[in-house]
Amino acid sequence: NMLRIEKVPNGDGTSHYEVNVTTDAVEGFLEQIAPELRTAPVDARFTFNDETKQLEVLQASQDGRELDTANTLPLFERAVFSNTDRAVPLVFQTVMPAVRDTMTAQELGITEQITAATTYFVGSTANRRTNIEVAAARFHGIVIPPHTVFSFNQYLGDVSEEEGYETGLVIVGDQTITGVGGGVCQVSSTLFQAAFYGGFPIIERYPHGYRVAYYETGEGPGLDATVFSPIVDFKFENDTNYYLLLEVYVRPANASIQFKIYSTSVGRKVTKEGPYVRNVTPPGPTIYRATPGLQRGQAIQVDYAVSGSDVYVYRTIKDADGNILVEKEEFVSHYIPWPAQFQVAPDDPRVNR
């Protein structure tokens, strides 16, 4: 109840009633509706011009707003007791974006490319290629403030057909099934490798359930990063005093995706040891899964046999003077053995029951 009626003695044996606003109740109401009225600010996005060494605006910044409860409350009280003006004007505060489009390369400390990584998706289906392009676009031009943790899923957003993703093969549990967004992990794995070689602290990273050839060209196994929003994320920390700028380029001609990270170099030198593959386990027998819509005799291979293993990769980070900052940081990836898998007709005698 937002109104409080009190009986007040007059001092002569009589009394009168006073109506007051219950401040706590009104504050509670305003705090309840505040999230619905909040508009989040939008950070600017940029690209770095390698010739001029300046930033070019890719996406303009936008101010946000949030309800100013303290200054709205007295206006609410005034409207309650007004005979003429019963409307309550809501007071908002401007929420400034962390990255404004007026900021310069010098202000942000974005002066050069400090790390990059490229992975390849040769042999991917058209749908998987589309998903890689759609997901990659979510990260082009992002600016990461100093001493903050970057979350891949925060920028990835919803993975759905409404967002432009296609159906394809995705890893869920112990099988590969048809789902939306197959290929997104190509993007997260590439960014992981760029952050790895940039010497940034890796806060959260999970390998895939089994080894995937797409992520091993060049670097070998052990440097992939799976994501499954909102449960499984990839995170790294910008532990420097400078902003980071992410640029990502998908090149269909050679089936590659590249992440570039721009900032000011702090002189880190990263050395990788490995991968060291241990505890190799052969895959089990071929699995045949009943798939409605297929005719008897049809067989669609959705997975190829891969041995299980434990893969160890080590990272040593030195400063500009050669002093060791991090020595043999261990990245362990446990991959389970993965049998060949086929989709077949439900009445196929080979179906695993």
Domain borders along the chain are: 3-37+63-95, 105-344
pLDDT of residue 302: 82
Q: Does residue 23 carry a pLDDT above 80?
A: no
Q: Does residue 152 carry a pLDDT above 90?
A: yes
User: Which H/E stretch holds residue 68?
Assistant: none
> What share of the chain in percent tops pLDDT 70?
92
Q: How confident is the model at residue 173 (pLDDT cuts 50, 70, 90)?
A: low
Phi, psi of 211 (to 5 degrees): -70, 135
pLDDT of residue 27: 79
Q: What is the mean pLDDT of residues 58-72?
A: 93
Please name the residues in contact with 253: beta carbons below 8 A apart, sequence gap of 6 or more.
Answer: none
Phi, psi of 346 (to 5 degrees): -55, -30
Q: What is the mean pLDDT of residues 200-229?
A: 93
Q: How confident is the model at residue 85 (pLDDT cuts 50, 70, 90)?
A: low
pLDDT of residue 71: 87
Longest alpha-carbon distance in the chain: 102
Q: How confident is the model at residue 140 (pLDDT cuts 50, 70, 90)?
A: very high
> What share of the chain in percent tops pLDDT 90?
65
Instruction: Count the helix, strand and coil residues of the chain and give each as a percent rounded to the nearest 5.
Output: 20, 40, 40
Q: Does residue 198 carry a pLDDT above 70?
A: yes
pLDDT top residue among 343 and 15: 343
Q: What is the mean pLDDT of residues 261-265?
A: 98
User: Which tokens is 84 given?
Assistant: 């003429």
Instruction: Burial-class residue 255 by CB neighbours within 10 Å (0-12, 13-18, 19+).
Output: middle
Q: Can you tell me the distance from the alpha carbon of 202 to that of 332, in angstroms, rounded to the nearest whole number?
A: 13
Q: What is the mean pLDDT of residues 291-314?
A: 91
